Amino acid sequence: MRRPFIGGNWKMYLDRESGIELARALVTGAAGVRDRDILICPAFPLLSDIGRELAGSSIRLGAQNVYFEKEGAFTGEVSTEMIKSCGCTHVIIGHSERRHIFGESNDLLQKKLIAALEAEVAPVFCVGELLEQREEGKTERVVEEQITTGLAGIGQEDLEKIVVAYEPVWAIGTGKTATPEDANSVHSLIRSMISAQYSSRVAENLRIIYGGSVKPDNIDGLMAMAHIDGALVGGASLKADSFLRIVKYI
């Protein structure tokens, strides 16, 4: 059975004081939850402070992005060693906002994945289609290209360290929602792609989580689906009560 994985992406929200307050509330509220992995991903300036708050708890720390070079004249970028030094064990790579606002390509994201794996930072690799792509029946083609190009050159052993997050871009902050069945069908498709590219064993063990307006009132339905192994939560991760309800889904 795949171990559930619940991640909170704070995006560009919360300052130092409010971030520390939230982290403390989550540590207290999640105490005793040991049967699933919990991750929170604050903005870069908060990582060290939040890392100290999480020390000794079951909640892991992740970064929202990383660059593929180890160091150099790359103003505004952050390396894997930098985020590790703040206590990060994970990093989000290929979030829809990085792809579609900042223009990050599949090839660039593949370099980031390899850099993270080489640094022993576990990637949460995001894939998903735009609304127009879905309406044109291109979901399978888009996701397959993202999976195939992003994972190029990554072997089975490294793939087992990756969590894949399916994010239908059309269901993020648009008022449109994917039903649990909609999400599960694409998760099943991704698992089939991995089976064909690697093996059925690797595909069966791969954790595929859902990230598309996950909230306390839809988490139970999502987690009841056979191929949904967790969630990548946006806005609902910014409040302790709502995120803890998601963490403690039925």
* 75-112 pLDDT per residue, tens: 999 999 999 999 999 999 999 999 999 999 999 999 99
pLDDT band at 172 (very low <50, low <70, confident <90, very high): confident
Query: Is the pLDDT reported for residue 1 higher than 90?
Result: no
Query: Is the pLDDT reported for residue 176 higher than 80?
Result: no
Structure-token pair, residue 110: 């593949």
Rounded mean pLDDT, 219-236? 97
Asked if residues 222 and 246 have their Cβ atoms less than 8 Å apart, the reply is no
pLDDT band at 114 (very low <50, low <70, confident <90, very high): very high
Helices (DSSP H) in 119-234: which residue ranges?
131-135, 139-150, 156-159, 180-197, 200-205, 219-223
167 a catalytic residue: yes
Q: What is the pLDDT of residue 147?
A: 97
pLDDT band at 175 (very low <50, low <70, confident <90, very high): low
Q: What is the pLDDT of residue 124?
A: 98
pLDDT, one tens digit per residue, over 121-165 is 999 999 999 989 999 999 999 999 999 999 999 999 999 999 999
CATH number, domain of 223, equals 3.20.20.70
Q: What is the pLDDT of residue 250?
A: 73
Q: Which of 53, 97, 129, 167 is catalytic?
A: 167
pLDDT band at 221 (very low <50, low <70, confident <90, very high): very high
Rounded mean pLDDT, 34-45? 98
Report how many domains make up the chain.
1
Q: Which of 53, 90, 95, 187 is catalytic?
A: 95
Provide the strand spans (E) within 56-203.
Answer: 59-63, 90-93, 122-127, 163-166
95 a catalytic residue: yes
At residue 41, what are phi and psi to the nearest 5 degrees?
-125, 90
- Name, in order, each residue with C-beta under 8 angstroms of 29's C-beta and a sequence gap of 6 or more: 240, 244, 247
* pTM for the structure as a whole: 0.97
Structural domain that includes position 236:
5-247
